[in-house]
Amino acid sequence: MLDKFKDECGVFGIFGHPEAANMTYLGLYALQHRGQESGGIAAADRGQVRVSRAMGYVADIFDGETLAQLTGQAAIGHVRYSTAGASGVMNAQPILIDCAHGQIAICHNGNLVNASELRQELVAQGSIFQSSSDTEVVLHLYARSKAGTVEDAIVESVSQVQGAFSFLLLTDDRLIAVRDPHGFRPLALGRLGEAWVVCSETCAMDLIGATYVRDVEPGEVLVISADGARSIKPFPPGPLAHCVFEHVYFARPDSYVFGRSVNEIRTDLGRILAREQGVAADVVIPVPDSGVCAAMGFADESGIPLRMGLIRNHYVGRTFIQPQSSIRHFGVKVKLNPMREMLEGRRVVVVDDSIVRGTTSRKIVRMIRGAGARAVHVRISSPPIQWPCYYGIDTPTRKELIGSSHSVEEICRYLGADSLGYLSLDGMLKATGSDPANFCHACFTGGYRVGMESEPTPQLRLFDA
């Protein structure tokens, strides 16, 4: 409902635990923010891999009976928001196949930029696809591989795909984690007693009591079996391209992503934003939940008190159907409610992580004014989004991104704010505390590092909205 880039997918895997499916269920529960459309778990037991997949939230998909059927000491799981391929249970993951190398299940966080051309070649050669998901291409390449071992067949198939991928694969006796050489999407490795855990974000480890060990490295193939964990580095190192938007918005603030605390980085984004875009005001309020950490940093740095001036209703699910209503801005009011006593007569700085189309931000500004604010200054803890993402994030087309076709002054006018300030690209990269060259920031700059040309510019002028 809110105007955001959509989270992509989350993966979780565990090897060597007597309750592998139950642990995976809990891990997926912690990763639910990364995809709410479908979920699934595959588990391996005594030479057989079984899978259960369905549409909906993790808590609604799996009951005790379903989990009890997913026996075994190894499991992988997935939550999905469709990025490549249509929505529908046939595109839910893990995808399980049986082939000359035996059974294998796969789940994927990311997006393969050459999947369409590979798929066309495979179809021309007789392959039959079950889904429209880009991930299935990898399974076809794997099934056709003449390599003598499972690991060699995986390396052979994965070396043909390009783009963003953090894969988990499960056979009857091993769990394999693969991360693309650019490290677009996160993938963390941990231990739970003797068991191994691999997952998108460390918040999933926290829930089950596992300990973070390290990240699966970009370009690494990690094979976990009864013999332990073995690392293979079959791919030539590529330039790193960690998704900076994981730090800005996607990841949970209580996670460590790319080895750093998301909360700390997000707070630093707010601090630097206050230095770059300071303004005289009486109160700082976050747009919950996306702007909370940055608003705390902004308030710390500026000395302006932080207040929760907007209260979020957390129980509005994806299935909420907006009834016909004459109430103005009904959609955003269902989700956010202004606290008049904190806003009336005050000069307000409202902090959020990003502006995509601008539609929700405009309603929020009107809502705050309607609650009696004397001035509304909008501050955004990332630069203007100008380009779509091809690496596993659901984004609108370029012409729908307000930052692609409007100056900051024009956007400010559209929002109806007294002022608007974005964080600079340098400021955002500085807040990561890492080498700026290690990050993808193509949605802000158009600098796609893998497989894409920058789109021409089909601009749309608005102000009639």
Residue 356 in the binding site for ligand SF4 (CB under 6 A): no
Q: Which of 186/338 has CB closer to ligand SF4?
A: 186
- Chain-centre distance for alpha carbon 126: 34
Helix (H) or strand (E) holding 155: helix 150-158
Residues 167, 138 contacting (CB under 8 angstroms): yes
- Cα–Cα dist 450/166, whole Å: 15
Exactly one of 9, 203, 389, 443 is catalytic; name it.
Answer: 9
Q: Which of 363, 343, 448, 360 is nearest to 398 (CA)?
A: 448
Q: Which of 307/441 has CB closer to ligand SF4?
A: 441
Vertex 446: Cα angle to 444 and 448 (nearest 5): 115
Name the one range near ligand SF4 by CB under 6 A: 239-247, 287-295, 346-354, 370-378: 239-247
Least gap, CB of 388 to ligand SF4 (angstroms): 8
- Residue carrying structure tokens 């955003």: 332
- Cα–Cα dist 76/93, whole Å: 10
In 10 A of CB 313, how many CB atoms?
A: 12
Out of 184, 196, 235, 258, the only residue in the binding site for ligand SF4 (CB under 6 A) is 184
- Cα–Cα dist 261/414, whole Å: 35
| Residue 291 DSSP code | T
Residue 393 in the binding site for ligand SF4 (CB under 6 A): yes
In 10 A of CB 121, how many CB atoms?
A: 13
Q: Which of 75/452 has CB closer to ligand SF4?
A: 452
Name the one range near ligand SF4 by CB under 6 A: 58-66, 237-245, 399-407, 408-416: 237-245
Least gap, CB of 440 to ligand SF4 (angstroms): 3
- Cα–Cα dist 426/449, whole Å: 18
Out of 25, 29, 245, 256, the only residue in the binding site for ligand SF4 (CB under 6 A) is 245
Out of 391, 401, 415, 452, the only residue in the binding site for ligand SF4 (CB under 6 A) is 391
Out of 115, 155, 244, 332, the only residue in the binding site for ligand SF4 (CB under 6 A) is 244
Residue 9 in the binding site for ligand SF4 (CB under 6 A): no
In three-state secondary structure terms, 353 is coil
Least gap, CB of 366 to ligand SF4 (angstroms): 28
Residue 198 in the binding site for ligand SF4 (CB under 6 A): no
Q: Name, in order, each residue with C-beta under 8 angstroms of 241's C-beta and a sequence gap of 6 or more.
A: 182, 183, 184, 391, 438, 439, 440, 449, 450
Q: Which of 283, 244, 293 is nearest to 443 (CA)?
A: 244
With CB under 6 A, what is the number of residues at the site for ligand SF4? 11
In three-state secondary structure terms, 456 is coil
Name the one range near ligand SF4 by CB under 6 A: 82-90, 243-251, 270-278, 408-416: 243-251
| Residue 247 DSSP code | I
Name the one range near ligand SF4 by CB under 6 A: 155-163, 171-179, 218-226, 386-394: 386-394
In three-state secondary structure terms, 326 is coil
Least gap, CB of 157 to ligand SF4 (angstroms): 23
Residue 243 in the binding site for ligand SF4 (CB under 6 A): yes
Q: Which of 40/403 has CB closer to ligand SF4?
A: 403
Helix runs in 314-424, H state only = 330-335, 340-343, 359-370, 402-405, 408-415
In three-state secondary structure terms, 68 is helix
Residue 104 in the binding site for ligand SF4 (CB under 6 A): no
Name the one range near ligand SF4 by CB under 6 A: 44-52, 77-85, 240-248, 423-431: 240-248
Residue 187 in the binding site for ligand SF4 (CB under 6 A): no
One symbol per residue from 418 to 457: x for binding ligand SF4 (CB under 6 A), - otherwise; what is it? ----------------------xxxx--------------
Least gap, CB of 85 to ligand SF4 (angstroms): 17
Extended beta strands in 147-235, E state: 163-170, 175-179, 188-192, 195-199, 211-215, 221-225, 228-232
Residues 116, 165 contacting (CB under 8 angstroms): no
Helix runs in 31-132, H state only = 58-61, 64-69, 115-124
Least gap, CB of 398 to ligand SF4 (angstroms): 12
Q: Which of 26/241 has CB closer to ligand SF4?
A: 241
Q: Which of 184/256 has CB closer to ligand SF4?
A: 184
Q: Which of 199/440 has CB closer to ligand SF4?
A: 440
Q: Which of 235/444 has CB closer to ligand SF4?
A: 444
Q: Which of 113/296 has CB closer to ligand SF4?
A: 113
Q: Which of 75, 80, 73 is nearest to 57 (CA)?
A: 80
Asked about 9 being catalytic, the answer comes back as: yes
Of 125-164, binders to ligand SF4 (CB under 6 A) are none
List interacting residues with ligand SF4 (CB under 6 A). 184, 243-245, 389, 391, 393, 440-443
Catalytic residues: 9
